[in-house]
Amino acid sequence: MTYAPVYPHDPIEPIADDIFMVRGSVRLNALMRITRNMAIVRHGDELTLIDPIRLDAAGEAQLRQLGTVKRVLRLGCFHGLDDPYYVDTFNAEMWSQAGGTTYPKPAIDHELTESTKLPFPDAELFCFKGTRQPEAALLLKKSGGIVIACDAIQHYGDYRHNNLPARLVMPLIGFPRTTIIGPIWLKLMTPAGGSLKSEFERLLARKFDSLLSGHGSYLRGGAHDAVARAMAKSYPG
């Protein structure tokens, strides 16, 4: 099987006890390379890769030093490019909501719902209801609460790992340097004549203070207020 190539990325870095991130990138089209992030949760010696990105040799060696890659957990239906590599290379389990059509493989071993028992403690899965395709967020109850999101919520403290064309275009197409509800995601996922506002209100009923999304940069602190402001901008009045 031919796997997607490795794109530029940073080393693995810790963001809380047994929680790590990799800030990387992916080529969107012939002109634009944009950011893409992976979260890693360690429980004992088992690693869960959340919306994973493929790493270079040095990054994969660092990953193996952290523990044993046990599973891939997909939060966003539009993320899955590198899932086959990890499932095949590490014989990892595939955890995902059913119904996504962009990446139908690998086959799901454990179907995710809000009632699914997660394979690590102090965590809660939030599944968006009423979207055209499945999307979830993971709430980790450490360090004041960390939300791991995919495309629904994004934060841009800077444009690092975006190439020059992407950096020029991002502010013009709804991706300024702040916390946002992903505008393209919102357009694709909102049913005709419907609204997802109540889902963001339901998410904001949870306690969290930091945010790592599938794109952009890590927001350490103040994330709950930032997401509330982003929702108010996307749903004025």
**In CATH, which of 3.60.15.10, 1.10.472.10, 3.40.50.300, 3.30.2130.10 is domain 13-234?**
3.60.15.10
Domain layout of the chain by residue ranges = 13-234
Query: Cα(14)–Cα(234) distance, rounded to whole angstroms?
Result: 31
The helix (H) or strand (E) run that includes residue 39 is strand 33-43
**pLDDT averaged over consecutive 10-residue blocks of the chain (237 residues)?**
95 98 95 97 98 98 98 97 98 97 96 97 98 98 97 97 96 96 97 97 98 98 98 93
Amino acid occupying residue 211: L
How many CB atoms neighbour CB 227 within 10 A? 24
Sheet order of strands, 110-111 included: 13-16, 19-27, 33-43, 46-50, 68-74, 93-96, 110-111
pLDDT at position 217: 98
